[in-house]
Structure 1
């Protein structure tokens, strides 16, 4: 499930205050400060201490802090939902994770309002994956539409991008809807959707073909680290016989083929990252095999061909 960084401002402030300390000393100082705030009755301090542990990967300690306040703090309830669903600091219990997310989504409390979009997105993911609840694409779609909130930039951008993906699949295929949701997500900062929009413009999927708009999207996404966009740029330049440009981009794209790490760094789907790497590897292999834009090198070509399968 998707986590939210609630304490970015607080953590940044602590880092500024203790910037001359080592990481371990900084962590100890932050822990000490938050413990003092808890003793002084600060209602937010217990959550922040749990979040500090969470961000450090100390999930069992984080779980203890969140459990203390779960009945009065919806942010703690949300984090517990994530942790139980993904098995962080506790045994995997997706049903319990779903239960927490439903409590947030169905709550009338004003304190839960800012978490509802994220909770709806996570619930949609649970229904789509059939994890913790019975699989239902229709329920996933309904929940993601709630989370996307008509493209509201304060809503779940992940839900907006996910709807774009959902409507490009065969079961609910509607490329106009797909284009709409990717446009909304891209406008709100989604790197994933920016790359997909470039491809949709390039091939006229859900929108009239527009090569200029396609290249703007693909180049922008590629510069931000979207591997799928980089792969399509390689293909675009190769097919137009700009072999040197294609090979240069392809070499950069295939430098790191650790798909899971790239997915974490860019928040893009591993499947699309793998497609981008495979495309770049194939066209780089062609360039090396035929000596197009680079010096011919059969051994190197064989290496990159092997990355395509």
Structure 2
């Protein structure tokens, strides 16, 4: 398999080199992107630098790389600079990149990384990126706005529900799980257990660990102990949060919360012998593994 992949890569590199010689301007970017996808970040950086003055896609990727320190030393200020160039450009060639650039720039302002922190500017940029729920806009921005309004001071749960609904409708697995929780507890919307379970079950089936954790809690509190224990056992074994985040495109902090919820209720079932054979030693072990807090740095969207 590795030999086959190496052969395909070499063939792709050869074809792109020929297209560059023939004067195909897109081939320069594609070659850089090929290196980027392979994790050859230094080679990708070199290729993108060659064409950044004429190719907005290359400029965008350079912004990502400088912000996250891929193939070069971290330079978030340069990442911010490149995203601003794309957002402020009137060129038709930059138009399709503006939603993603606005989302990334909003994250920079929210985190105060590469630019002075400003919730107001982050919100403004995310609203541009979300574009009233346009499915062709940044779905990440739509989901992020849902989280922003649910944690802002003061909170605006109606706006949070609206944006999670838009993001969910556009395919966001993250927002689908959060919508289920909002329906379950009547946050930003009238409580609707049927709608909550529909959202949570579908999100859980798609791999949303936060939704899975809330389903475990739902089953436990309604005394479906056998179901709760069996489901919780599987979730509690998740120990690679970052890998799950990459696979599901969900925030690690929410995945960690889902795992923590499932682990707690599994420990509870073991301790009390609910839906599973009582095992005090195992219960103690699982209780010790419950942890909801973990630092997380959001990266630019590629």
Normalised-by-shorter TM-score class? over 0.9
Within 5 Å, which residues of 2 pair with 1:264-283? Answer: 264-283=246-265
Instruction: State the partner residue of 1:15.
Output: none
Distance 1:170 1:191 in 2: 22
Q: How does 1:81-160 map to 2 (within 5 A)?
A: 81-160=63-142
Match of 1:4 in 2: none
Q: Distance in 1 between matches of 2:289 and 2:260?
A: 6
1:197-234 Cα distance to aligned partner (Å, 9 max, x none):
00000000000000000000000110111110000000
1:1-309 matches, within 5 Å, as: 22-309=4-291
Aligned-residue offset at 1:290? 0.9
| 1:166/1:172 contact within 8 Å kept | no
**What is the CA-CA distance between 1:259 and the residue it aligns to?**
1.3
Deviation of 1:303 after TM superposition, in Å, equals: 1.4
Residue aligned with 2:150, SS: coil
The CA deviation string for residues 172-203 of structure 1, in whole angstroms up to 9 with x for no partner, is: 41000000000000000000000000000000
Deviations 1:127-172 (A, max 9, x none): 0000010000000000000000000000000000000000001424
User: How far 1:22 moved relative to its partner?
Assistant: 1.2
Provide Cα deviations, 1:217-274, integer angstroms capped at 9, x if missing partner: 0001101111100000000000000011111111111122211111111111111111
Scaled by the length of structure 1, what TM-score is found? 0.92
CA distance in 1, matches of 2:12, 2:3: 11
SS in structure 1 opposite 2:207? coil
Query: Could you tell which deviates more after superposition, 242-251 or 112-121?
Result: 242-251
Higher relative contact order structure (alpha carbons within 8 Å, sequence separation ≥ 6): 2
- How far has the Cα of 1:123 moved from its partner? 0.3
- What SS does structure 1 have at the residue aligned with 2:43? helix
For structure 2, the residue ranges without an aligned partner over 5 or more in a row are 292-302
The 3-state SS of whatever aligns with 1:179 is helix
* CA 172–54 in structure 1, closer or farther in 2 if over 3 Å, else same: farther
How many residue pairs match? The answer is 291
Q: Could you tell me how far apart the structure 2 residues matched to 1:73 and 1:21 are?
A: 33
